[in-house]
């Protein structure tokens, strides 16, 4: 039997050798150490059960509020908040996309000369180094309360996000297609238009829609620090202990995110 002789001449057991910690002693020391740390860490947590009990009661009121969402009492506030948020979302996404296309192209190493590349990369880094809320706090201080500060915040954040991913997409382009267009004597703009744009277009559309999705959700968050929109309405509702109105707002946010999610995946497929 050839199979039998095979199992006799060659080893039949194989185990993947450890990659990270090759020394068995260290493996054991680290495992035991982690366990000890976990036990000690859990013991340091103080739980005030009385507070948990009180909190549960409040939490239950919250849940009850959500179970009977009240769309009508504060409908005007909710309506204006929503319109503000949606306006902020759309305008900031469009502005963000328009600004990040040139910056993204400039930040692609295979298209831009070194000085332009560095300039665009630093814009991206600057935009990406702050969380939306921090930018919103700054811009609210600069431009006052309201959706304009929100619009600026979301635009600024979109630029960092979209430019970086667009630049990476351009750098990943098939080089031979770029070379082929360049070899015909095409100018730099023509190379961008004929060789790069067709390659990155579906991804750009997908990223823009995804960013729109993010911008809507962020617009709800930055409202809490005064940048207008549905977040401001939500914040007011919670401050007034109107959990039923807050519940209505959350349900609306979830519904809108779902709609954006489904429509964007549909549009992406269409742009392939």
Partner 1 sequence: MLKLDNVSKTYKTGDKALHNVCLEVSAGQVVGLIGPSGAGKSTLIRCINRLVEPTQGSITLGSTDLTKLNRRDLRQARRRIGMIFQEYALVERLTVMENVLSGRLGYVPTWRSWFRKFSPEDIALAHSLLDNVGLADHYNKRADALSGGQRQRVGIARALEQNPELLLVDEPTASLDPKTSRQIMRLIRAACQERNLPAIINIHDVMLAQQFSDRIIGLRAGKVVFDGSPEALSDEVLTTIYGDEDWTQLRADATPTQNEATAVLDLAEGV
Name which position in 94, 119, 138, 180 contacts partner 1 (CB under 8 A). Answer: 180
Name which position in 40, 183, 239, 270 contacts partner 1 (CB under 8 A). Answer: 183
Name which position in 18, 59, 102, 198 contacts partner 1 (CB under 8 A). Answer: 198
Does the footprint of partner 1 cover residue 102 (CB under 8 A)?
A: no
- Per-residue x/- mask for partner 1, residues 201 to 220, rule CB under 8 A? xx------------------
Q: Are 215 and 33 in contact (CB under 8 A)?
A: no
Q: Is 91 exposed, middle or buried (0-12, 13-18, 19+ CB in 10 A)?
A: middle
Axis-axis angle for helices 230-239, 243-270 (nearest 10): 160
For residues 250-269, one letter each, b for 16 or more C-beta atoms within 10 angstroms of the residue's C-beta and e for the rest, the string is bebbeebeeebeeebeeebe
Copy the structure tokens of residue 29.
């020391």
Does the footprint of partner 1 cover residue 267 (CB under 8 A)?
A: no
Does the footprint of partner 1 cover residue 186 (CB under 8 A)?
A: yes
Does the footprint of partner 1 cover residue 4 (CB under 8 A)?
A: no
How many positions of this chain bind partner 1 (CB under 8 A)?
21
Does the footprint of partner 1 cover residue 257 (CB under 8 A)?
A: no
Name which position in 20, 184, 239, 270 contacts partner 1 (CB under 8 A). Answer: 184
Does the footprint of partner 1 cover residue 179 (CB under 8 A)?
A: yes
What residues make contact with partner 1 under the rule CB under 8 A? 174, 176-177, 179-187, 189-190, 193-195, 198-199, 201-202
């Amino acid at each position: 039997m050839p199979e039998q002789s095979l199992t006799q001449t060659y080893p039949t057991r194989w185990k993947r050798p450890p990659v990270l910690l090759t020394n068995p002693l260290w493996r054991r020391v680290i495992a035991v150490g982690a366990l000890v740390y976990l036990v000690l860490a859990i013991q340091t947590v103080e739980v005030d059960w009385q507070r948990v009990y009180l909190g549960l009661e409040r939490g239950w009121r919250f849940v009850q509020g959500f179970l009977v969402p009240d769309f009508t009492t504060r409908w005007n506030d909710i309506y204006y908040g929503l319109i503000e948020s949606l306006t902020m979302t759309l305008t900031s996404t469009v502005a963000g996309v328009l600004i990040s296309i040139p910056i993204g192209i400039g930040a692609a190493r295979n298209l831009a000369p070194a000085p332009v590349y560095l300039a665009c990369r630093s814009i991206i880094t600057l935009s990406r180094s702050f969380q939306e809320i921090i930018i919103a706090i700054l811009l609210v201080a600069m431009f006052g309360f309201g959706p304009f500060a929100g619009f600026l915040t979301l635009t600024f954040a979109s630029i960092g996000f979209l430019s970086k991913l667009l630049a990476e997409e351009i750098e990943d382009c098939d080089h031979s297609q770029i070379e082929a267009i360049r070899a015909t004597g095409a100018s730099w703009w023509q190379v961008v238009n004929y060789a790069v744009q067709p390659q990155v277009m579906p991804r750009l559309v997908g990223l823009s829609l995804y960013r729109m999705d993010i911008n809507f959700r962020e617009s709800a968050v930055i409202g809490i620090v005064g940048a207008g929109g549905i977040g401001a309405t939500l914040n007011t509702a919670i401050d007034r202990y109107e959990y039923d109105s807050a519940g209505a707002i959350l349900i609306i946010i979830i519904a809108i995110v779902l709609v954006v999610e489904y429509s964007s995946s549909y549009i992406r497929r269409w742009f392939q």
